[in-house]
Structure 1
Amino acid sequence: MMISSEVLASAAADPTSLAWDFIWQESCHQGTCDPASAVLLPWLAQTCAAFAREDREKAVVLAGFIALGADDAGRAAYADEITTLRALAVDRLPSASSDSMFVYLQQAILGFDGDEIWGKELDHLNDGEIDVQCPECDEEWLLDLESEDSRIESGLSSGLARRLHAEAVQAGRGSVAARLTRLFGRFSCPDCGTRFNLADHLAGISYQ
């Protein structure tokens, strides 16, 4: 990771600076952040705190990815900064600039919490669809989260699901709340008839 002090200064001076794109590219690749990027957390905590609430969204989301990608030593070393950044994300969540940003902020909070699954995968809500794999016959299915898919039995299959749904309802994010009930609902495999929780069987995800 090679990010100059000049790039960091440009980003800190302007939340819309193209320097942020460079920082993203250097820190994270294909949804995974280099553990070495954790050294940015103190700078991110200071920078995000200095930005106006409406200007810190993108930076806080980046910080969530970086915190999730940090190793145990990094999370321990920057525990105070992670706590600060999490609080900033929670503060912004109710007034997020869009439904998609609301989801990204929820995901960032989970990243700060160290949730290895939903700190990365919650943004399937923004994609509007998910690939799931039947635990019995291994067949994969692409399911629509945007509309009422008759194959999905809506639900909230975990305490986390209920928390995320409550946050969406309280913030007036009806579309996000509806998609959450599908993501955390149940599905009957058309091939073998096995019923399973969608959120426990996303295709290509290791739950170990």
Structure 2
Amino acid sequence: MEDWAQMRDCRFEIGRVPELLERVERDDDADAWKELGWRLVLEHDLVSPASFAALPRLVRLAPRSAQARALAGEILGRAAGRHGCDALLAGCAGAIAQFREVLDRHLRSRPADYLMSFLALLSAEEEYHWAAVLGDFTDDFYPLACPHCDAEVVIAIGDYGRYSATRDWNMGDVERRDLRPAAAEGLTGTGRWMHETVVRDGQKTLADGIRHLFGDAECPGCASVFNVADEYTYANRPVMR
């Protein structure tokens, strides 16, 4: 049982979060959900002790509540940050494992909130960098540095094309090179798991986008070829303390 008297929220207040949780558990109150959102997750990726203390109760609501799934996912998406709540996070291990199961079952139903729930699952699996940036592959950009010449390269995966390019702020994306998508059977690790999950659930656009994301790109500057996901992960994956 958490001592809520010690659990400040993102507004540096105590006591309000448990009241709001009781309201959403009882009545699915829209105003209470809205207030919970800005008390448990603040701008600039900030969370608080109350955020992690509330997580098990949010997970219990998650099978029937899109708001609970979204808010729990947002909290977990910030778990790698400097929140000072490591002990509280460690105490949520059971709830996080349960949340993974809830999300996996939900995704199998091909829900309207598929992408949001998939991002929450990525956070629950500690794939924080992908949870933060993965889109629906209609307008996705992944900036990174070429590992060979250090040139700035933008990776585009969307309806307008799937390419690497140099970004010119006056002319747009120039010197485009088509991406080389990975073969489904050649994917390994996180890429394979992500691809198999969305294929299982009939998400064709996501599946195609993931193959490009975990495929290869050519640097417009030096013409060297590198793996997009490897370089993006190297540059952006947070180090767990």
Aligning the two structures, in what range does the TM-score lie when normalised by the shorter sequence?
A: 0.7 to 0.9
- Structure-2 separation of matches of 1:144 and 1:14: 43
1:205 aligns with 2:236: yes
Sequence identity percentage: 24
The answer on whether the counterparts of 1:124 and 1:130 sit within 8 Å (CA) in structure 2 is: no
- The CA deviation at 1:5 is 3.4
In 2 relative to 1, CA 122–195 (structure 1 residues): closer, same or farther, beyond 3 Å? same
| Cα distance between partner residues in 2 of 1:173 and 1:207 | 28
**Contact 1:11 1:20 (C-alpha < 8 Å) held by counterparts:** yes
Alignment of 1:182 with 2:206, yes or no, is no
Q: What's the offset of the Cα at 1:206?
A: 4.8
CA distance in 2, matches of 1:13, 1:126: 38
1:93 aligned onto 2:124: no
Query: What TM-score does the superposition give when structure 1 sets the normalisation length?
Result: 0.80
Name 1:196's counterpart in structure 2: 226
Write 1 or 2 for the structure with the bigger share of helix.
1
- Say whether the 8 Å CA contact 2:134–2:140 is kept in structure 1: no
* Match status 1:25 vs 2:52: no
For residue 34 of structure 1, the aligned residue among 41, 47, 58 is: 47
- The answer on 1:75 being equivalent to 2:106 is no
What is the DSSP-based 3-state SS (H/G/I as helix, E as strand, rest coil) of the residue aligned with 1:42?
A: helix
After TM superposition, give the deviation of residue 76 of structure 1 in Å.
2.2
Secondary structure of residue in 2 paired with 1:34: coil
- CA displacement 1:91-133 (0-9 Å, x = unmatched): 10122433xx323322222222223333433347475332232
The one-letter code sitting in structure 2 at the alignment partner of 1:200 is: D
The equivalent of 1:60 in structure 2 is 69
Q: Which residue of 2 aligns with 1:153?
A: 180
Per-residue CA deviation, residues 169-207 of structure 1 (Å, 9 max, x unaligned), is: 121111111111111111111012121111123396256
CA offset digits 1:133-191 (Å, max 9, x no partner)? 22233333333212442521111653211111111112111111111111111111101
CA 1:180–1:143 in 2, change beyond 3 Å: closer, same or farther? same
| RMSD value, Cα | 2.8
Change (3 A) 1:165 1:206: closer
Could you tell me how far apart the structure 2 residues matched to 1:126 and 1:6 are? 40
Partner of 1:139: 151
TM value normalised by structure 2: 0.70
Instruction: Work out the CA distance in 1 between the residues paired with 2:87 and 2:103.
Output: 23
Determine the structure 1 residue equivalent to 2:201: 171
State whether residues 31 and 120 of structure 1, in contact with CA within 8 Å, keep that contact through their aligned partners in structure 2. Answer: no
Contact 2:128–2:237 (Cα < 8 Å) also in 1: no
Q: Which runs of 5+ in 1 are unaligned?
A: none
- Report how far residue 30 of structure 1 moved: 4.5
Alpha-carbon distance between aligned partners in 2 of 1:31 and 1:168, rounded to the nearest angstrom: 30
**Contact 2:198-2:204 within 8 A present in 1 as well:** yes
